[in-house]
Amino acid sequence: MLELMASKKISKLEKEEIELNLILFGLVLVLLLSIVTIWHINYKKSRVQTPKIYREISKELLAKADLNQDGKIDEKDAKLIKEAFLKGDPESLKADLNQDQKVDAKDYSLFNTIVNLKEKETNAAK
Ligand SMILES: [Ca+2]
Ligand SMILES: [Ca+2]
């Protein structure tokens, strides 16, 4: 009789353990699913919000495009890049954004792309 009771007790304990494991398994599953979902949403977001050209523009390039180093890329920098146009002296070469050792239309269009993207970014943040 006592033995029977003991085995019953054990089986009850085992049952509880299995249930607990099932609950834990379920929780882990839900956690994994939500991580995958969040990752997927963020992945889609980053794909939508980041045009290809923007991914190619590095932080260094953004820093370079701020020619007078006043922390923003604006018409003052545009003026500087115009002044540096087709010049080869070290001061003007700061405007050589694509680093081909000359300041030309490529750098100017790169600068314009950065300005446009910056504007889009500011508008999106509003
Ligand atoms: Ca500037
Ligand atoms: Ca260049």
- 99 Cα: distance to centroid of ligand 2 (angstroms): 5
Q: What is the mean pLDDT of residues 13-30?
A: 94
- pTM score of the predicted model: 0.55
Question: Quick one: pLDDT band at residue 77, thresholds 50, 70, 90?
Answer: very high
Contacts of 113 (CB under 8 A, 6+ apart): 53, 57
Question: Quick one: pLDDT band at residue 59, thresholds 50, 70, 90?
Answer: confident
Residue 28 has pLDDT above 90, yes or no: yes
Q: What is the mean pLDDT of residues 78-103?
A: 92
Question: Quick one: pLDDT band at residue 40, thresholds 50, 70, 90?
Answer: very high
Proximal ligand: closest to the CA of 104:
2
- 6 Cα: distance to centroid of ligand 2 (angstroms): 85
Domain boundaries, the chain: 2-49, 53-125
Give 57 or 1, the one with higher predicted confidence: 57
Cβ(86)–Cβ(95) under 8 Å? no
Question: Quick one: pLDDT band at residue 43, thresholds 50, 70, 90?
Answer: confident
Question: Which phi and psi angles does 103 have, rounded to 5°?
Answer: -100, 110
**What is the pLDDT of the chain when averaged over all its residues?**
86
- 34 Cα: distance to centroid of ligand 2 (angstroms): 47
- 119 Cα: distance to centroid of ligand 2 (angstroms): 23
Looking at 50-102, list the stretches that DSSP marks H as alpha helix, in order from N- to C-terminal side.
52-56, 59-65, 75-83
Question: Quick one: pLDDT band at residue 4, thresholds 50, 70, 90?
Answer: low
